[in-house]
């Protein structure tokens, strides 16, 4: 006889969402199990701090549980959850939470010179970007969202989104080129 977790594990997501909308905690727990890694990774890319990403993911899932009954289309659970996670991040930024990491206030140019021999991965490079720039870059490259979708999600004007992505991409290229020991060639325009 199959256990409840085995049945839920084989169930389509839309069915689980429909069950969760009626208050089924086990169905929602299965949705969390399926989506928690994705949400945490998205938030980690936004904030650059694993502990904070875990806290924000938990907040996003708590908000999802409170409002899942309002979700009209079960098939839209993924985009709806992404919006909740991004809104949770943006609320955190707006509150200027004192638990935010202090890396933003450091001089990244000095860090590059000092840490050229230390492995700098993408998450570390992303952590040096300002919040809104980082968010736009993550949504564009990590989540594959269009400029219009990012503008809708964040409430930022389209031109600002494009500027943030361009600026963030340039900064990441410079940071990662310095890390790799290959200076970035200047574009001659």
Each residue of 9-38: pLDDT tens digit? 678 999 999 999 999 999 999 999 999 999
Whole-angstrom CA distances from 114 to 89, 158, 162 are 30, 36, 31
> Is 91 in the same domain as 33?
yes
Widest Cα–Cα separation across the chain: 68
User: Distance (Å, rounded) from C-alpha 133 to C-alpha 136?
Assistant: 5
Residues 6+ apart with CB under 8 A from 45: 123, 126, 134, 138, 142
> Is 40 in the same domain as 112?
no
Cβ atoms 142, 95 nearer than 8 A? no
Q: How far is CA 126 from the centre of its chain?
A: 11
**Angle, in degrees to the nearest 10, between helices 158-180 and 147-154:** 110
> Is 64 in the same domain as 24?
yes
pLDDT (average), residues 152-163: 91
The pTM assigned to this predicted structure is 0.63
Tokens of 115: 């840490």
> Is 137 in the same domain as 171?
yes
By residue range, what is the domain housing residue 63?
9-100
Each residue of 58-86: pLDDT tens digit? 999 999 999 999 988 988 999 999 989 98
> Is 125 in the same domain as 91?
no
Q: What is the pLDDT of residue 101?
A: 40
């Amino acid at each position: 006889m199959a256990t409840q977790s085995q049945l839920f594990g084989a169930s389509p997501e839309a069915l689980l969402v429909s069950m969760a909308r009626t208050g089924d905690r086990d169905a929602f727990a299965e949705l969390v199990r399926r989506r928690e890694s994705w949400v945490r990774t998205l938030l980690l890319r936004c904030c650059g701090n694993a502990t904070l990403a875990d806290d924000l993911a938990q907040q996003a899932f708590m908000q999802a549980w409170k409002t899942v009954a309002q979700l009209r289309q079960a098939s839209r659970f993924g985009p709806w959850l992404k919006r909740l996670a991004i809104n949770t991040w943006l609320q955190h930024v707006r509150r200027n939470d004192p638990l935010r990491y202090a890396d933003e206030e450091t001089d990244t140019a000095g860090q590059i010179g000092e840490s050229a021999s230390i492995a700098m991965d993408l998450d570390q490079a992303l952590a040096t970007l300002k919040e809104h720039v980082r968010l736009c870059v993550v949504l564009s490259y990590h989540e594959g969202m269009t400029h219009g979708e990012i503008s809708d999600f964040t409430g930022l004007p389209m031109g600002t989104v494009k500027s943030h992505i361009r600026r963030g991409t340039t900064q990441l290229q410079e940071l990662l080129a310095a890390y790799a020991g290959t200076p970035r060639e200047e574009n001659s325009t």
